[in-house]
Amino acid sequence: MKRVLIPFLILILLFPEGCRNYTFQKKDDGVNKIYKVPEWTKQAIWYQIFVERFRNGDPSNDPTVDDMQGGYPGSYPAGWTVTPWGHDWYEPEPWQSEMKQGGFYQKIQARRYGGDLKGVLEKIGYLADLGITAVYFNPLNDSPSLHKYDARNYAHIDRNFGPDPERDAALTASEIHDDPATWHMTSADSLFLKVVWELHKHGIKVIMDYSWNHTGKDFWALNDVHSKGASSKYADWYNIISFDDPSTPDDEFRYEGWGGGNIYMPVFLKDITPPDDNVMPFEGNLHSASLKKHIFDVTRRWLDPDGNGDPSDGVDGFRLDVAGEVPMGFWREYREFVRSVNPEAYLVGEIWWLEWPDKLLDPEPFLGTQFDAIMNYRWFRVARGFFGQAEPVLKPSEFVEWILKLNEGISTDHQQAMMNVAGTHDSPRLLTSLFNKGLDKYKAKPSDDPDYKIHRPGEDVFREEKLFLIHQFTFPGAPHIWYGEEAGMWGADDPDCRKPMLWEDITYEVEKAHFYPDMERPADTIKPNKELREFYKSLILMRKENPVLATGSLEFLLADDQKMTLAYKRKSEGEEIIAVFNRSSKEQEVIIPYGKNSRWEVIFPAGNFTEISCRNKNIILNTDSVSALVIRKIR
């Protein structure tokens, strides 16, 4: 995947050690209504659900080998079965021995656990109790894979996520796929709308994940091109290299795949301006007008399912996959269309790599006329560098410099709507990322680094995680939780970050198998971490009870490189909160320049009675090693 970022340079300008003020300036955000960031997104607490791995609520709809045809790895052994939910992750199932090609990470793509929408429905109360206000679903469109980024039909929810896969497949096959008037409401579609309704009833917004860059190899339009060649009315949808010649016994059909040679994900044909531009972002558009119409039809279907002009029964926006690889002209049209259906819909782009693993794309060109926000991997790299002391390791002053640099040119509205991710389906889980101190998303799994630590982290890492989380929940940008982070799940980069969710009513095998069968590892008991979940709940409650943490201004008050302490203030009319961090390995007295004497109280952790004094217009308090306090001004 060709993706794009600013170089992560070593900072030359360092802050003097000690106490100085570093102020984050607000900008004028007057914008046209189409481009205005929805206010609800700034207050969001995101929870990302990968349905196949969240919960199996209905074993009767579990995938079969027939359901998976057309997806990677392409063939499945006769003895294939659904994997038990509590299976030891690195332990191969018996059927893997029947697969003669590929290693563990290739064979594991055939693994299914049977997660479905009934499982999500069962756990909406769990999400509400946690305090979640917005759910981001990984792709739900019908697809043969576990991840669903290789769609075979955009217009329908995956057949195995609903109660009647066989009937849903038959209904879908009877449609004229490019004519929405013929589209049925399958059992999976109906169940998804029920999930949306129930989530909305609990005050939880919903966004869907789509890739308008590519489909799967079994997508109906590509099948038509394969069969009819240049005469297919969808021949201009894809970047076709050669059509099949029916007069020969060979199949000459070739097309561009995502990343170059991925035959399982054929990419759409794009008109790039100028044509030889190969550096994101691209100007231009998707080539085919009929393809764009189909995308808009699918989009309208989920924004306003009954088509009555009231979008309240539909989803609240979209996360758009590999957004940097799709021309900007399309995204401008797409935003205008989406906002014409639902003026409050949220659009968040996956804007990531310019040049992996060092250069991340600058999101500024994508914001405003295209997206409301991006998945904020840039913030994560910087925050991990300081709070986790992981590569690139940062001092407090360097952290501040980088935050100010990353936010240059980005309006306050867009900063506050950012999806601040700490772990996703495409990266190591937060605990494992902090456990391994190398550059994030680089040699971040055992196949790339045999010494990469895959077992349960020690308590020191859990302490670092809590420090990181206090920062995440007190900083501009909407906090994002990858399913299971609150349960203490760990795991290396994809696919190890996609283990089944931990539930108290399921028994899990002890994790003792290693990626390398001849290597030993500590044996880990697997169960939900209740204490960590309560920590998340407390952070969520704090952010909800103090709106200044979502929409207040940001001012850095302290960045002391010698003591490894940091403090910043969030302020709105009548409310001030300061987050104080001690990243050192020893207790520290923290002296925060404030400019006047005032009274403060600790609001996090709850029940903390640290004495806070004010002398000479400074705030003074003592902090434990690797710890944080959140204090609020008493009026």
Q: What is the mean pLDDT of residues 69-93?
A: 97
Mean pLDDT score across all residues of the chain: 95
According to the model, what pLDDT value does residue 219 have? 99
Only one residue has tokens 């990469």, namely: 452
CA 109 – CA 71 distance, rounded (Å)? 9
Q: Give the CA count within 13 Å in the CB-facing half-sphere of 276.
A: 0
Of 149, 160, 204, 261, nearest to 498 by C-alpha is 149
- DSSP annotation of 13 reads S
Structural domain span for residue 250: 220-267
Asked if residue 401 is part of any domain, the answer here is no
pLDDT band at 33 (very low <50, low <70, confident <90, very high): confident
Asked if residue 530 is part of any domain, the answer here is no
pLDDT band at 261 (very low <50, low <70, confident <90, very high): confident
Q: What is the 3-state secondary structure (H, E, C) of 155-167?
A: EEECHHHCCCHHH
Q: Give the CA count within 13 Å in the CB-facing half-sphere of 295.
A: 25
Q: Give the CA count within 13 Å in the CB-facing half-sphere of 39.
A: 2
Q: Is it the case that residue 586 has pLDDT exceeding 90?
A: yes
Asked if residue 149 is part of any domain, the answer here is no
Task: Give backbone dihedrals phi and psi of 172, rounded to 5 degrees, phi first.
Answer: -60, -40
CA 508 – CA 526 distance, rounded (Å)? 6
User: In this prediction, what percent of the chain has a pLDDT beyond 90?
Assistant: 92
According to the model, what pLDDT value does residue 350 have? 98
For 165-192, how does the pLDDT look when each residue is reduced to its tens digit (9 = 90+)?
Answer: 999 999 999 999 999 999 999 999 999 9
Max intra-chain CA distance, the chain? 90
Domains: count for the chain: 1
Q: Is it the case that residue 445 has pLDDT exceeding 50?
A: yes
The alpha-helical segments, DSSP class H, found in 165-246 are 165-173, 187-201, 220-228
According to the model, what pLDDT value does residue 31 have? 55
For 289-316, how does the pLDDT look when each residue is reduced to its tens digit (9 = 90+)?
Answer: 999 999 999 999 999 999 999 999 999 9
**How would you classify the pairing of strands 134-137 and 205-210?**
parallel
Tokens of 160: 């195995």
The answer to whether 632 and 549 have CB atoms below 8 angstroms apart is no
pLDDT band at 609 (very low <50, low <70, confident <90, very high): confident
Only one residue has tokens 């205008």, namely: 336
CB-based contacts of 110: which residues, under 8 Å, 6+ apart? Answer: 68, 73, 76, 80, 95, 99
Tokens of 613: 């004094």
CB-based contacts of 458: which residues, under 8 Å, 6+ apart? Answer: none
Q: Is it the case that residue 488 has pLDDT exceeding 80?
A: yes
According to the model, what pLDDT value does residue 400 have? 99
Give Rg (Cα) of the chain: 25
CA 546 – CA 551 distance, rounded (Å)? 10
Asked if residue 531 is part of any domain, the answer here is no
pLDDT band at 32 (very low <50, low <70, confident <90, very high): confident
Asked if residue 249 is part of any domain, the answer here is yes
The answer to whether 624 and 582 have CB atoms below 8 angstroms apart is yes
According to the model, what pLDDT value does residue 166 have? 98
Q: Is it the case that residue 555 has pLDDT exceeding 90?
A: yes
Is the CA virtual torsion 185, 187, 191, 194 positive or negative? positive
Q: Is it the case that residue 204 has pLDDT exceeding 60?
A: yes
**What Å distances lie between residue 278 and 141, 261, 296, 326, CA to CA?**
30, 17, 27, 12
Asked if residue 392 is part of any domain, the answer here is no
List strand residue ranges (DSSP E) for 25-161, in order.
46-49, 134-137, 141-142, 153-157
| DSSP output for 368-385 | TTTBSEEB-HHHHHHHHH
According to the model, what pLDDT value does residue 189 have? 99
Q: What counts of helices (H) and strands (E) characterise the chain?
A: 16, 27
List strand residue ranges (DSSP E) for 11-142, in order.
22-23, 46-49, 134-137, 141-142
**Cβ neighbour number for residue 227 with a 10 Å cutoff:** 12
Of 560, 565, 536, nearest to 625 by C-alpha is 565
Q: Is it the case that residue 18 has pLDDT exceeding 90?
A: no
According to the model, what pLDDT value does residue 4 have? 31
Read off the amino acid at residue 330.
F
The answer to whether 284 and 329 have CB atoms below 8 angstroms apart is yes
The answer to whether 552 and 44 have CB atoms below 8 angstroms apart is no
Q: Is it the case that residue 30 has pLDDT exceeding 70?
A: no
Is the CA virtual torsion 326, 329, 332, 335 positive or negative? negative
For 557-573, how does the pLDDT look when each residue is reduced to its tens digit (9 = 90+)?
Answer: 999 999 999 999 999 99
User: In this prediction, what percent of the chain has a pLDDT beyond 70?
Assistant: 95
The answer to whether 228 and 158 have CB atoms below 8 angstroms apart is no
Q: Is it the case that residue 12 has pLDDT exceeding 90?
A: no
CA 543 – CA 530 distance, rounded (Å)? 20
Q: What is the mean pLDDT of residues 605-615?
A: 92
pLDDT band at 278 (very low <50, low <70, confident <90, very high): confident
Say if residue 392 is preceded by a cis peptide, omega within 30 of 0: yes
